[in-house]
Structure 1
Amino acid sequence: MHDLVIRGGTVADGTGNAVRTGDIAVDGDRITAVGGRVGAGRRELDADGLLVTPGFVDIHTHYDAQATWDALLTSSCWHGVTTVVTGNCGVGFAPVRPDRRDWFVEVMESVEDIPAPVLRAALAWDWETFPEFLDALDRVPHALDIAALLPHAALRVYVMGARGADPHAVPRADELGAMTQLVREAGEAGAVGFATSRTEHHRTGDGGLLPCHAIRTDELAAVAAGLVQAGGGVLEVGSDFPDGDLETEFAGYRRIAAESGLHMTMPVAESPSRPGEGRRLLDLIEQAAADGVPVSAQVTSRPIGAVFGIDSRLHPFAAMAAWRRAGSDPAVLRRGDVRAAVLGEARAAGADPRLGSVFRIAHAASGFPVPADALGAEAAAAGADPLAFLYDALVAGDGTALFYRPAVNYDGGDDRWVERMLRSPHAVPGLGDGGAHCSMISDMSSPTTLLTYWGRDRPSGALLPVPWLVKRQTADAADLVGLRDRGRLAPGMKADINLIDFTRLRAHAPEMAVDLPAGGQRLVQRADGYRHMVVSGEVAFTDGEHTGAMPGRVVRRT
């Protein structure tokens, strides 16, 4: 008798092949049979009418801190994700010397919008080295699997001390050797790779650039050498090419990937502040891959946008002295004298609400909101001044209303650029950013959007095949980070499995929750349609509710 049988589901097995109806048998944490009718199970799940897929793999998260206190890794666990990869963008909490802990807390608050009081209250700091960090994560029960990248900023400061925090400081030969050795040790302990970043948007607590911002080719080569000595791993390199020479900078990364044989992955997006750059980068990645260089893009399933409300610093009134004096009590802010003072100050400052691309939060879950649904259209229909309209919307009712402003990869609701990225054979959907951007961005639901918008709800243009979409979020994502024991429904593969009511599948709108340590708040986002989520052969979630099972573990590359 099998430990678990999933009976009669519509199986999208992660290969991209057409769906088929059949059973799946699980024994222990492994799949033992797929297709046809299998024997009885000690527990059976009725999958008739359900889409059965491998568990989703999110290759780009920031659960480095949250994983130490949140056993469920919310909100990723509500969107079919069974494996997360953390340590992205070159930032994290290991390796770290005791005297640099608070500095990294401030860095993570500044770069990833994780409140410093939360981190100070919650982090146990029962580690110093990266292998010790993995061991510390392993001591915490989890519902999902966690894989980790070694973050460059932490490595650089650990090796170079305070001098390493200066991105323009050049490592000495002995320091490069130490980096190689520590990367090797991290890889041998189970790190799935290494992450670095040189974007202008990533800043330290005092506004400075990240330690890894000015990474030199010899420094990246030293890191690559450590991964090679450890047996391999992925190199994640994020850059917005601040020197203005995308082609030259990319050529250096391409050379490292070609010489080391390590797979290099780069986030790719089209920003309104740098038009055309994302398209050029994707072209370069595709050309390099066609030439045999192991390189790929990390892409999104929808626009990346900011969420804001009355307490946010992202709306045009947050900087106004009259607003700050009034606090965040909506009743006070609705008073005529306060309203007049704030609006007067905002108009004098030339504040632009940009309501043509601001939407009520319900539209954040739809994929690609269109200008006809924006607050600008509402204001025009009401004959209202846009600035006053936004003010009144923010302070209405109990002041908990949230709004969404898509920016990156958003072209007025036109989805063709995102389709172009998703269709690339050298791109993998990721960038869910779970664990980060607590009060500003809610992209943990991207796997749900990938299936619903592109496989079912797209209002115009061709739908993308559901089996192919499943493959992108499962086998392709797992293979990218070297986790080849998951991502496919086949005998011998790890039993991470989703049972999905595809007709009911939808992401809820993000909500603000006050559930972080020390009373911190963050955006959370649930979903409907995930009937069961199986991790390592155990049913971990049913209808979005945790069953109590804790089958997750730290996944170590071997």
Structure 2
Amino acid sequence: MTTTGPTVASPAVQLALVGGSVVDGTGKARIRTDIGISGDRIAVLGSGPWDAAETVDITGLTVTPGFIDPHSHSDWSILGNRDAQSTIRQGVTTEIVGNCGVTYGPLSDATAPAAQRALRGYGYYGDVDWRSFPALLRAVHETDGGTAQNLAWLVGHTALREAAGLRGSDVTADGRNTMLRLLDEALDAGALGLSTGLEYGAGREASTGELIEVTSALRRYDGIYASHIRNRDADLLPAVEEFLTVASTHQLRAQLSHLNVRYDTGAPTGAWHDAVEKLRAARERGLDILADMTPLCDGIGLATGLLPAWLLDEGYAEAARRLEDPHLRARVRKDCDRYWRFVHRGQWERVGLLRSPGLPEAEGTSIPELARKRGQDCWDTYFDLLVAAGPDMADVQLLGRLFTPEHVAEAVSHPLFCLGVDGFTTQLGGRLADRTRHPLFFTGHTHYLAHHVLRRQTVELEEAVWKMTGMVADRFGLAGRGRVVPGAFADLAVVDLKRLADEDTETYRGAYARGVPHVLVNGTFVVRDGVHLGTRTGRFLPRG
């Protein structure tokens, strides 16, 4: 490590962090330097003595920019967990939310009751009295003291479709215009762009032509297109081609969400490498595209993604009614070779139940274990979970063993991949805790450092921090974030690398992450000496 000399003679700062090292989020080597903070900004890097209102000794610790999750679903749980307990304690100061097409705004009068029920499952018991996307932003950021962490938002394509009352693949001119109006409204309010979820729900009904028409609005705003693509197994490459077609038609900035391949699902040999090569070649042609990856072999999935489209044609309530028929169940079993295709191959041991609106007492149980308790086979247990959810069938969530360690490591270290978690912020105790007993939610972010950097050396510390901070800030246009440099916002994680090296980040321990004793958001401590202070200095980060 090298040492910086003083850059300003005895400057006056409000807060000085002294004695530590800095990994600045640019990819440059770690340096030994102190940090002076004034207001919400980093005022100076160097070495004192400084005229500081408060000085905190962080000798032996390492300061990084606050981590920025490029692919979060914390918009689902933030109303029930404004303190962002599980994520802020890992050093996550900003989350890009609204991914995979699913946002609880815009809403229509027809879709608001389902949103109300879904949000109660995430610990929010207030009224869903908003309808527009801007009103959702106000509900999150302008009530109840705001949030502990910064949030930057995408608006979901599925939400646009449902708010417009659209079904099926044939979209009328009126339907398209309604979606475009709702998208413009969200972008005017500061949304970063549009997300799609094309493997399930209303998203999978959308044609490529529809996606091209709707994303035309993004060009006017320089909005980003983030896509959970249509397939990540046997048809991965056509799905990537569709993503590139949509992005290139309007020359959009585009993010391919969690570009990974589930193992033993029929993907051609070398499919992931071929997909990444397509991205690299498109970048060489001038298309501004990147991807992101998750830290663990496990991931969240929507149970309805397994179902054939014909079963869902008349809505979830009718699908639940029909699934009570044993003869129809037999037909559906034969037509479920999609999404998590390993289930169709009988590998239910890879699946656990994360969320069940109809049978909440079953959450946290593996499907085989639940089937044994119920005296059923796994398919009938799966169908019963959907039937019990009825009109809220889309909220049944699974947790699956999806990827091999080798595949995860290869993607984590790839230069085209930002590092995210694809989870949501949670807490110990209450409704949220009941369904998030998994390390993905509590140590997913610190796992990158503890496992991939310190234990396995999958990636160097400076590169990992860059992929979790500066790279993400650049990708989503978050000015002044993601770097420890003078003038930047003082979103900081103070990390104990020695402790993280010994931290078990692959086992749920019923505790918050250790190894990040201090976290500052916009210049103010939210976590200090491992204690969450209840501070809510997070901000809405609009586009531009």
**Structure 1 length normalisation: TM-score?**
0.73
Q: Which runs of 5+ in 2 are unaligned?
A: 1-11, 300-350, 355-360, 381-397, 427-431
Q: Is contact 1:258–1:294 with CA below 8 Å preserved after alignment? A: no
Deviations 1:130-154 (A, max 9, x none): 0111111112321111111101111
Q: Which of 151, 157, 163 pairs up with 1:146? A: 151
The amino acid across from 1:138 in the alignment is H
CA gap of 1:8–1:26, structure 2 versus 1, over 3 A, is: same
Instruction: Look up the SS of the partner of 1:554 in the other structure.
Output: coil
Q: What RMSD over aligned residues (CA atoms) do the two structures have, in Å? A: 2.9
The residue that corresponds to 1:453 in the other structure is 451
Partners of 2:520 and 2:124 in 1: how far apart? 32
SS in structure 2 at match of 1:541: strand
Report the equivalent of 1:134.
137
Q: Paired residue for 1:418?
A: 408
Aligned residue for 1:190?
A: 190
Deviation at 1:507, TM superposition (A): 5.0
Aligned-residue offset at 1:449: 0.9
Partner of residue 394, structure 1: none
Match of 2:492 in 1: 497
CA shift for structure 1 position 442: 4.0
Matches within 5 A, 1:11-410: 11-37=22-48, 39-104=50-115, 117-118=120-121, 122-139=125-142, 140=144, 141-159=146-164, 161=165, 164=166, 166=167, 168-199=168-199, 202=200, 210-229=201-220, 231-241=221-231, 245-266=235-256, 267-272=258-263, 273-276=265-268, 277-304=271-298, 311=362, 312-320=364-372, 323-324=373-374, 407-410=401-404
Cα separation, partners in 2 of 1:269 and 1:350, compared to 1, 3 Å? closer
Shift of 1:45: 1.7
Secondary structure at 2:17 match in 1: strand
Shift of residue 228 of structure 1?
2.2
Residue 55 of structure 2 aligns with an amino acid whose one-letter code is E
Secondary structure of the structure 2 residue equivalent to 1:94:
coil
Q: Distance in 2 between matches of 1:507 and 1:148?
A: 31
Check 1:120–1:54 CA distance in 2 against 1; reply closer, same or farther (3 A cut): closer
Instruction: Please give the alpha-carbon distance, in whole angstroms, between the structure 2 residues aligned to 1:498 and 1:185.
Output: 34
Deviations 1:347-400 (A, max 9, x none): xx999xxxxxxxxxxxxxxxxxxxxxxxxxxxxxxxxxxxxxxxxxxxxxxxxx
Distance in 2, matches of 1:96 and 1:508, equals 37
Partner Cα distance (1:405, 1:150) in 2: 24
SS at match of 2:128: coil
Q: Which runs of 5+ in 1 are unaligned?
A: 109-115, 203-209, 325-341, 352-403, 513-523
With over 3 angstroms needed to count, the CA separation of the structure-2 counterparts of 1:117 and 1:537, relative to structure 1, is: closer
Structure 1 residues 65 and 243, CA gap change in structure 2 (3 angstroms): closer
Shift of 1:105: 5.4
When residues 470 and 177 of structure 1 are mapped into structure 2, their CA distance, relative to the original with a 3 A threshold, is same
2:30 & 2:66 partners in 1: Cα distance? Answer: 16
Contact between 2:75 and 2:97, CA under 8 Å: does it hold in 1? yes
Give the Cα separation in 1 of the matches to 2:30 and 2:472: 20
SS in 2 for 1:503: helix
SS where residue 292 of structure 2 aligns? strand
Residue pair 2:38, 2:523 contacting (<8 A) in 1 also: yes
Q: Give the secondary-structure state (helix, strand or coil) at the position aligned to 1:255.
A: helix
Distance 1:63 1:121, change over 3 A: closer
Q: Post-superposition shift, 1:182?
A: 2.1
State the distance in 2 between where 1:509 and 1:424 align: 22
Verify: 1:528 aligned to 2:520, yes or no: no
Deviation track 1:503-528 (CA, whole Å, cap 9, x = no partner) reads 0023556659xxxxxxxxxxx65211
Instruction: Check 1:118–1:175 CA distance in 2 against 1; reply closer, same or farther (3 A cut).
Output: same
CA distance in 1, matches of 2:467, 2:489: 17
- Secondary structure at 2:54 match in 1: strand
Partner of 1:479: 474
In the alignment, the residues of structure 1 paired with residue 18 and residue 160 of structure 2 have an alpha-carbon distance, to the nearest angstrom, of 48
TM-aligned CA distance change 1:143 to 1:104, over 3 Å: closer
8 Å CA contact retained: 2:291, 2:417:
yes
User: Helix, strand or coil for the counterpart of 2:202?
Assistant: coil
Partner Cα separation in structure 2 for residue 117 and residue 150 of structure 1:
21
Cα 1:71–1:120 change in 2 (3 A) is closer
CA distance in 1, matches of 2:474, 2:495: 23
Q: What's the secondary structure of 1:302's corresponding residue?
A: coil
Give the drift of 1:218.
Answer: 2.9
Report % sequence identity: 26
CA 32–73 in structure 1, closer or farther in 2 if over 3 Å, else same: same
Shift of 1:11: 0.6
Aligned to 1:468: 463
Bigger mean CA offset, 85-94 vs 278-287: 278-287
Does the C-alpha gap of structure 1 residues 146 and 498 become closer, same or farther in structure 2, counting only changes over 3 Å? same
Deviation at 1:239, TM superposition (A): 2.3
Q: Distance in 1 between matches of 2:233 and 2:19?
A: 56
The answer to whether the 8 A contact 1:301-1:449 is kept is yes
- Letter paired with 1:30: R
Return the offset for 1:417.
Answer: 2.3
C-alpha distance in structure 2 between counterparts of 1:220 and 1:428, whole Å? 24
Counterpart amino acid of 2:243?
Y
Change (3 A) 1:183 1:12: same
Q: How many residues align?
A: 442
Q: Contact 1:442/1:510 (CA < 8 Å) preserved in 2?
A: yes
> Distance between the aligned counterparts of 2:147 and 2:251, measured in 1?
33
Deviation sequence 1:174-208 (CA, Å, 0-9, x none) = 32233223212211211112111112xx4xxxxxx
Distance of 2:138 and 2:97 partners within structure 1: 15
Letter in 2 for 1:284: K
Aligned-partner Cα distance in 2 for 1:280–1:196? 22
The answer to whether the Cα contact below 8 Å between 1:12 and 1:470 also exists between their aligned partners in 2 is: yes
The change in CA–CA distance for 1:83 and 1:191 in structure 2 (over 3 A counts) is same
Give CA deviations for 1:521-542 in whole Å, capped at 9, x if unaligned. Answer: xxx6521111210110001102
Q: Say if 1:179 and 1:555 are closer, same or farther in 2 by CA, change over 3 A.
A: same
**Letter aligned with residue 184 of structure 2:** R
